[in-house]
Structure 1
Amino acid sequence: MSTFTYNKWLIGVIIVGLLAAFTIDWQRYMVEQANSTVETVMDYEDIVELAQIEGIPPADLFRQFKEAGVTSLAVYEATLEKLNKSGKITALPGAEILHQNRTGTLSDPFWRNLVAAGKIQAEDVYIVGQDQQVFREVMEDLSRRLGPGRVTLLAEGERPVLAAKANFEKVVKWNLGLPSEELAAVDQMGFYVIARPTNYTKVTPDDVNSVFQRLSPVKNLSAIIFSGEEVLGYPDLLPMTASYFKERHITLGMIEHPLQLQFLKQEGLTQLAAANNYQSARVYVIPKDEQPKLKAAEAILRWAVTDQERNIRINLLRRYDKPEPGKTLAETNLAYVSGVKQALVDEGYSLGRADTFRPYFPMPALLALVMFGATAAGVLLLSLICPFPARWQYILTAVLSVLLVLPILKGGGTLSRQMVALATASVFPALAMTWQLDRWRRMEADGHFNQPVALGRIITAGLGAVVVATFVSLSGGLYLGAVLSDIRFFLEMEIFRGVKLTFVAPLLLVTIIYLTRYNLFDNMQLTSPKDLWRQVKTILNYPVYMKTLLLVGAAAFAAWIFVGRSGHTAGVPVPAAELKLRALLEQAMYARPREKEFLIGHPAFLLAVMSIYRQWPRLFQYLLIVAATIAQGSLVETFAHLRTPVLMSTVRALDGLLLGAVIGIAAVVGVYVIQAVIARWGRGNATHE
């Protein structure tokens, strides 16, 4: 039997790196624990409109929403369309005024005189003020948006009028600055203000100043969440915007992408976050097309899970537009908000101004030790695939470590950290399974499986083995969680890259390792590299039968499901039954375990132990071992989601182990019973004959 040596010095380096990783993960845990206040936000306009629909005084409805749990109101920029509806201004196309004059319906002498003087042009837009402050703000922002010479004041006094050279259908929808009246109203009612400004075309310093001058009277300004595809000041005036943010200690809101990967596209967003010393909060909003499909109870659970699992600290709540049975529309929305508040309080959060992470970056020396240990793990695995002298193992570990650590010591190293994280996610699950394979080989060589083994011993051995393998993989998760620990990854400004590869690579590595130790086509162990090559040739020359094609097709379908369900792209849809199972587990457990672990990987691990103790054909053993590897790879990959608190990722792994062990025991007992029934039935038939 060929032997594979585990280099104890490399194992020692791995342990040292693990201690450094644990130190970083502990620091990360403390940073995450200090970030526990959530801001619940609704749009100011939504509540005003709801008050109009229900016939409730707006002030009363705002008070009720505040008592229900709304901490903040979002204020958007005004548009001529919205101001027209509110009666604060009147905007008309010049063509309409001229039509009225021609048909004799233009009775106002003021307008008739302007038409007679030739001051009304069909292609222009005319704006009449009802509210002096609103009119002044509209004129100021229209002048900025349109540029000099395109906005003219035609009349002053109680009924001021201005003319704008612009397309009416377009200009009525333009954003025209944050309305001072709404900002002041929100401030006076005791809510936090979340401003939603947009950027300007060819933005100037005066444009940036104007936005923050409009915000200067607001005492309770909490955050700014920019609307549109650019942040204010992009591309050249971001430092100016950042200086205002830092001066007033404003939080930058970053809206999570619907696919849960980074953010909605806004140019300059991450640059502004860095310039604001990372005083940023992740924002979530249930997609507009999805919320009507969710019952209020489902949406409430969504908020609790989202805030807990993805470090969301600003909840932007949309209004429900249909009342629940037995409730008015206002009561429906108040109950929804109250339910969100209670769910968050039950999870240990407080409501108020959103917390932000302190700018955490781990010590370079600790990172260096982590990367040194991860490199040693990779070299150890390589030596277990293709053994080579120990001195070359040390040289390779040293050279790779220096190349990876040097960028970190120079103040950078994001790419090298991402490379190490990707390698870690592949190496540790493979190491966990390799150690078990070699242990089983030694037991088989010593004759442990020559005699029938009791079911209880199989279960005990399986549980011990899956626990050890899980903790080896968990070490890899702690490595991964540490090497990418800093505030940029917490906020998802930087991300782990290679999610789909981390699901496939451990399976390929374990396949290679298995083929270096066993022959798939008989129960003989390999003794030389020539045996491995002969096995590869046998696989390549295997006849293609219809059953082979069906097996390959089934494997391809399983791979499509397995890979397609990973990552954040819109891939294989999730069945409704599975969604219900997820919801049940989210309510029953602190961290919902992954189906790949408790439904596939861990049960397969216990069945693999059974297959080895009962000496099933090698091909069956191999398939079960590969299936068991799925859980180990999934466990480590969980830690690649840096937005998820490290404690939750750890508990998720342990929850998956516990639930998977229970299901695995049931699977082993079930197979044992089926085998016993078949054996008894076979003996009965033989006796009858």
Structure 2
Amino acid sequence: MSGRYLQWNRLGLKWLWWLVILGVLASLPLAYNRNQTEEDTARKVEFAFDYRDLLEISNFQTDPRAFVTDHLKQLQKAGVHSMAVYETTLSELRLSRRIEVFSSHEAMALTQTPISPNENFTYILFAEKEAQDKLQPLILDTFSSLKVKTRPWSFKNQAGMIIEMGQEEAMLQTMDPDPISLQLLKQQGFQIIVRLSNRRPFDAVRMDNLLAQLQQYGIKRFIIDGETVPGYINDTRLENIDTMADLMKKHNMGLANIELQKTQQKGFNRLSKMLGYNVVRLHSFTERDGEKLTENLTEQELKERVQGVADRFVLAVKDRNIRIVFLNARAVKNLDKGKILHPMDALYDSLDGQDGAIPRIKEAGFTIGIAEKFQPMYPGWLQAAKGFVWLGAVAIIALTISYFISEITLLAFILGLIGSAGLYVLSPSLFAQGLALAAGTCAPTLATMLAIRTARQRAQAKKVSSAGAHLGFAILLLLRTALISVIGACFIVALLNQITYLLVLEQFRGVSALHLVPIVLAAIYWLLFSDELSHKDKLAKGRKLLSSYISVLWMIGAIVIAAVGFYYLSRTGNEGQASTFEKLFRSFLENTLGIRPRTKEFLIAHPLFLLGAYLCVKYRSAVLLILIGVIGQASMVDTFAHLHTPLHISFIRDIYGLLFGIPIGIVVIIAWEIVTRSWRRWTPLLQKG
């Protein structure tokens, strides 16, 4: 390379650090902007119960209507002030005791009159005059739109109708929500959430009339029922979705986004965007979850499960920006007890019992009410600040490369700017995610490599110091390393500062890479690049490693490392798995501290990092412990990669990791000193003996 380029390259190393610092400073107002959105808006939490589930449970009771009335009061008393109502069906109307439904064979047996053997119709009797007045027009409209004939029918002066469609098929047909149920719940003082589907052909006029009726009942939000939003046809025909959005805005209605779905409902992101992201996150307590409260349990076991449900609701609201908790329940046949059980009483205890979820949510600064959308602010300086963040992110990537091949640092920075700018033109979302992932990966890698280099330099200096000085060096090195690692978190937060990530309409992909890549890169640096060697010597060292004979012990070690790595990755991300004991330990930390630090940071990575930094002067191989500490550094950055978690919680979680990790590390160091000194003292005596 030319001498002038190398001169500019050496100067560039210093300027790149200044660009990183500038990028971090530019990220702070962006982080503050997001924190204001999270802390100052959408502070109401709504608990909603599935009304259809309540009807299904009531179907097993001796007095279904009294059961429903009683539990509506109990739900309100426990803090549930919203009920979810579906588009109704004949099946649901029968559950609510508004109609009775018969097949042709059943109608023949009921009336004792012969019916044609070629007939397979559906017969309906209305339970009362109100049901006939309000439901008959609804049923007629639904089946006439399907081109199905209907006609009047009665039995013993009880009005009804005949639908010329088989009972099984007729029971599946979707109709507008039951107006009697809507009126009843409104009179009881419940806020109503409606679940709308895409099962009927989209008709703008019909939908406009339906939303107008729902608006009269005070309905402000609905949940999608099914895999597609109303109006969805395919990903190229979006005109119905846009019409649906216009109608929703006309009637002041928003959406709820169900978390932890395997796939997002088709058309949901488009509809959300057209609504100006009038969306709140919803956590679902499913029927299967409720069944766990009806199993054969001791009193203590039931109490623990109820407490676990309460903890789950609190964690959802505090840690994941959930604003609607959607409760389901199911009646379960218990053969051992010879009863049909339901989890309603246990649910009430989890909500408002001893250490219940609702009082704790209120203590955390939330109020119980109708869920509201986040209202982010996008000031004019935001894009300018992101420009400086972009420069800083590319700079930290180039600096990381410099620790492997320093001569190409400036070239890597220039190519990084050009490549990322081109990616922005192609896809702003891909640009933001790619740059955030790269910067978030490089920061803990760079921090760990710098820590290894610093430890090596201290070991080579061979300066005689006291144990206290070694300990002080170890603590300061950990703090400095953590500070550099968190630079990656600053870039992630700033680059992905959009409401779509807060609502998980877009997900930050690559969490596993964020955990694994820093470990791999830091290990490669330690093996080949941490010593002051020429490029020729590094290549020779690499060839020697690749051509080394592999022993059985090495194979066993590789298998162990692979197993540990697989387990480590299996526990990362939103779907990571944890053992029962670890879940109990997490719950204990959460309930004790309010915000749970990550165990792999304060129990493993930070203490081992401290021990390695403390021992690096005496033992060259102690740097390996610092290398293991990269796990904690990557975890600190990953904490901020969960963009649905409030920013202040991620910050406190990292601080807790250091506050607890350092004392535990000091205890480990003291234990090491006691063991080694005892060993040196007793070994000669044992040899003489």
Is the structural similarity TM-score above 0.5? yes
Distance in 1 between the 2:67 and 2:94 partners?
Answer: 21
Is 1:106 aligned with 2:121? Answer: no
- Which residues of structure 2 form unaligned runs of 5+? 1-8, 234-238, 294-304
Q: Is the 8 A contact 2:174 2:199 kept in 1?
A: no
What corresponds to 1:334 in structure 2?
348
Aligned to 2:524: 512
**Residue 370 of structure 1: which of 365, 389, 393 is its match?**
389
Amino acid paired to 1:500: S
Q: Distance between the aligned counterparts of 1:270 and 1:612, measured in 2? A: 52
Which residue identity does 1:537 align to in structure 2?
Answer: R
| Aligned twin of 1:255 | 258
Paired amino acid for 2:688: T
Check if 1:241 corresponds to 2:244: yes
The farther-off stretch of 392-401 and 656-665 is 392-401
Cα contact 1:526–1:532 (8 A) shared by 2: no
Supply the distance in 1 between the matched residues of 2:663 and 2:558 (Cα, whole angstroms).
Answer: 30
- Residue 459, structure 1, aligned to residue 471, structure 2: yes
Please give the alpha-carbon distance, in whole angstroms, between the structure 1 residues aligned to 2:165 and 2:67: 37
Match of 1:521 in 2: none
Residues 174-198 of structure 1: CA distance to partner in whole angstroms, max 9, x if unpaired? Answer: 4332001111112222221111122
Name the aligned partner's letter for residue 341 of structure 1. I
Shift of 1:208: 2.1
Residues 395, 673 of structure 1: alpha-carbon distance in 2 compared, 3 angstrom cutoff: same
What is the CA-CA distance between 1:486 and the residue it aligns to?
Answer: 0.7
2:169 counterpart residue number = 170
Secondary structure at the aligned position of 2:224 is classed as: coil
Partner of 1:127: 124
Could you tell which deviates more after superposition, 36-45 or 308-317? 36-45
Letter aligned with residue 650 of structure 1? F
Find the partner of 1:152 among 135, 150, 153. 150
8 A Cα contact 2:259 2:281, kept in partner: yes
1:587 and 2:591 aligned: yes
Structure 1: distance between partners of 2:446 and 2:623: 18
Task: Name the counterpart of 1:429.
Answer: 444
Contact 1:79 1:172 in 2 (8 A): yes
Change (3 A) 1:675 1:538: farther
Query: Please, what is the CA RMSD of the aligned residues?
Result: 3.0
CA distance in 2, matches of 1:606, 1:434: 15
Using the alignment, how far apart are the partners of 1:166 and 1:669 within structure 2?
A: 81
- Letter in structure 1 aligned against 2:312: R
Please, what TM-score do these two structures have when normalized by structure 1?
0.87
| Inter-partner Cα distance in structure 2 for 1:4 and 1:676 | 46
From 550, 555, 558, the counterpart of 1:549: 555
Select between 383-392 and 467-476 the one with higher mean Cα deviation.
383-392
What is the distance in 2 between the residues matched to 1:121 and 1:240?
44
Query: Does 1:80 pair with 2:84?
Result: no
Contact 1:370 / 1:479 at 8 angstroms: preserved in 2? yes
- Matched residues in 2 for 1:647 and 1:252: separation? 26
1:644-655 counterparts in 2 under 5 A?
Answer: 644-655=645-656
Q: Secondary structure of 1:631's match? A: helix
Partner residue of 1:345 out of 353, 362, 377: 362
Q: SS of 2:310's equivalent? A: helix
Q: Quick one: which of 297, 310, 316 aligns to 2:326?
A: 316
CA distance in 2, matches of 1:201, 1:476: 48
Shift of 1:679: 1.7
Structure 1 residues 437 and 45 mapped into 2: Cα distance closer, same or farther (>3 Å)? same
The CA distance in 2 between the partners of 1:50 and 1:96, in whole Å, is: 25
Distance 2:273 2:227 in 1: 18
Q: Which of 22, 25, 35 is the matching residue for 2:31?
A: 25
Name the counterpart of 1:44: 51
Contact 1:41 1:74 in 2 (8 A): yes
- Residue of structure 1 in register with 2:639 after alignment: 638
The answer to whether the 8 A contact 2:47-2:326 is kept is yes
- Gaps of at least 5 residues in structure 1 are 519-524
- Which whole-Å CA distance do the structure 2 matches of 1:86 and 1:59 have between them? 12
From the superposition, tell whether residues 50 and 336 of structure 1 become closer, same or farther in structure 2 (CA, over 3 Å).
farther
Of stretches 57-66 and 177-186 in structure 1, the one that deviates more from structure 2 is 57-66
Query: Any idea what SS the aligned residue of 2:46 has?
Result: strand
1:278–1:359 Cα contact (<8 Å) kept:
no
- The more displaced of 54-63 and 39-48 is 54-63
Aligned counterparts, 1:192-271, within 5 A:
192-218=191-217, 220-235=218-233, 236-257=239-260, 265-271=264-270
**Match for residue 481 of structure 1 among 493, 512, 531:** 493
Corresponding position: 1:675 with 2:676: yes
Q: What's the offset of the Cα at 1:145?
A: 6.1
DSSP-derived class of the 2:287 partner: coil
Moved more, 328-337 or 25-34: 328-337
Letter of the 1:7 counterpart: L
Deviation of the 1:43 alpha carbon: 2.2
The one-letter code of the counterpart of 1:399 is I
Are residues 444 and 478 of structure 1, via their aligned partners in 2, closer, same or farther at CA, if it must alter by over 3 Å?
A: same
Shift of 1:246: 1.2
Equivalent position of 2:18 in the other structure: 12
Inter-partner Cα distance in structure 1 for 2:384 and 2:143: 52
1:291–1:656 distance in 2 versus 1, CA, 3 Å:
farther
CA contact 2:140–2:150 (8 Å) conserved in 1: no
Secondary structure in structure 1 of the residue aligned to 2:450: helix
**Contact 2:185 / 2:192 at 8 angstroms: preserved in 1?**
yes
- Residue type of the partner of 1:69? G
The CA deviation at 1:58 is: 4.6
Q: Percent sequence identity over matched residues?
A: 25
Instruction: Report the CA distance between 1:50 and its aligned residue.
Output: 6.4
**In the alignment, is the contact (CA less than 8 A) between 1:84 and 1:90 conserved in 2?**
yes
- Conserved in 2, the CA contact under 8 Å of 1:368 and 1:405? no
* Aligned-partner residue type, residue 127 of structure 2: Q
One-letter identity of the residue aligned with 1:286: F
Q: Aligned residue pairs: how many?
A: 648
For 1:143 and 1:75, the matched residues in 2 are separated by 20
Partner of 1:447: 462
* 1:306 and 2:320 correspond: no
Stretch moving more, 393-402 or 590-599: 393-402
* Structure 1 residue 561 displacement after superposition: 0.5
The structure-2 alpha-carbon separation of the partners of 1:551 and 1:387, relative to structure 1 and needing over 3 Å to count, comes to: same
Corresponding letter in the other structure for 1:599 = L
| Structure 1 residue 320: Cα displacement | 7.7
Q: Which moved more, 1:608-617 or 1:207-216?
A: 207-216
In 2, Cα distance between the equivalents of 1:84 and 1:398?
Answer: 65
Aligned to 2:405: 386
Q: Quote how far apart the aligned CAs of 1:313 are.
A: 0.2
Residues 1:216 and 1:205: Cα distance change in structure 2 (over 3 Å): same
Query: 1:480 Cα shift?
Result: 0.5
Where does residue 301 of structure 2 map in the other structure? none
Q: CA deviation at 1:223?
A: 1.5
Rounded Cα–Cα distance in structure 2 between residues aligned with 1:419 and 1:333: 43
**Which region of structure 1 is more displaced relative to structure 2, 180-189 or 236-245?**
236-245
Query: Could you tell me how far apart the structure 2 residues matched to 1:145 and 1:376 are?
Result: 65
Q: In structure 1, how many angstroms separate the alpha carbons of the residues matched to 2:504 and 2:479? A: 32
**Alpha carbons of 1:508 and 1:148: their partners in 2 closer, same or farther (altered >3 Å)?**
closer
Shift of 1:4: 9.3
Aligned equivalents of 1:74 and 1:364: distance in 2? 41
2: CA distance, partners of 1:174 / 1:491:
33
Partner of 2:298: none
Q: 1:419 aligns with which of 431, 434, 444?
A: 434
> Which one is further off, 659-668 or 436-445?
436-445
Distance change (3 Å), C-alpha of 1:390 and 1:301: closer
Deviation of 1:66 after TM superposition, in Å, equals 1.8
1:605 aligned residue (602, 606, 609): 609
SS in 2 for 1:290: helix
> Which residue number corresponds to residue 453 of structure 2?
438
| Whole-angstrom CA distance in 2 between matches of 1:677 and 1:645 | 48
Return the offset for 1:373.
Answer: 0.6
CA contact (8 A) 1:155 1:162 kept: yes
Alignment-derived partner of residue 627 in structure 1: 628
